[in-house]
Chain A
Amino acid sequence: GNSVTQMEGPVTLSEEAFLTINCTYTATGYPSLFWYVQYPGEGLQLLLKATKADDKGSNKGFEATYRKETTSFHLEKGSVQVSDSAVYFCALKFTGGGNKLTFGTGTQLKVEL
């Protein structure tokens, strides 16, 4: 079946550090890939997405590239801020696949001054 594996958290970084959160997936076929962010006490916000191989999604300084050869969609940001502290979820979905999102377990990011 389909699954998403994310790196364990929490990830703790100093402000302005480089961020990578690893995400790999197992799926038959070519899903769409998403990163969602959840700030404390809030719902999920779509951060970025990519729908086919080699697509790069980007938003608010975050980037992720759909790598079919490594079945990965790693999230990166060049310089994190304290306000980026949140839980980040990687997810996949097949078009027409019952509209079901398969989520990873989430990675908590803490950014300190």
Chain B
Amino acid sequence: DTEVTQTPKHLVMGMTNKKSLKCEQHMGHRAMYWYKQKAKKPPELMFVYSYEKLSINESVPSRFSPECPNSSLLNLHLHALQPEDSALYLCASSPGDGTDTQYFGPGTRLTVL
């Protein structure tokens, strides 16, 4: 099973709202990632968690706040977003054992009004 699940599938929010994106994997992977993908572009890395600790933050604005409650779950908390933050947000996971093939979820389509 190489499945990464993400909820919700679609999200519309206002600039003053607070919302969260959720990602889950049950493959025993120890590394999890958040990417942002704009239309017709490749994914851009935002955050990496390795063994439940934040290991990479690609200078992401503080209105995006990641959280890794346990090795299977990854959240992305959203607050005071801007319309330009509208995008497809992808979660991925990898074993974390050096082989590091990343497996992606289906994404959450976010629209900020």
Contact = CB atoms under 8 A, between A and B. Distances in A.
A98 B105 contact: no
Interface in B1-46: 2, 4, 6, 31, 33, 40-43, 45
Contact of B106 (A43, A51, A101, A104): A43
B41 A99 contact: no
Interface string A39-63: 0001111100101000000000000
Nearest to B89: A43
Main SS class of interface, A: loop
B45 A101 contact: yes
Interface of B: 2, 4, 6, 31, 33, 40-43, 45, 48, 50, 55-56, 88, 90, 92, 94, 96, 98-107
Contact of A99 (B4, B43, B48, B90): B48
Interface of A: 32, 34, 36, 42-46, 49, 51, 89, 93, 95-96, 98-101, 103-106
A95 B42 contact: no
A104 B55 contact: no
B42 A105 contact: yes
Given A43-B90, A106-B40, A100 B103 contact: no
B104 A36 contact: yes
Given A34-B101, A36-B104, A43-B106, A104 B56 contact: no
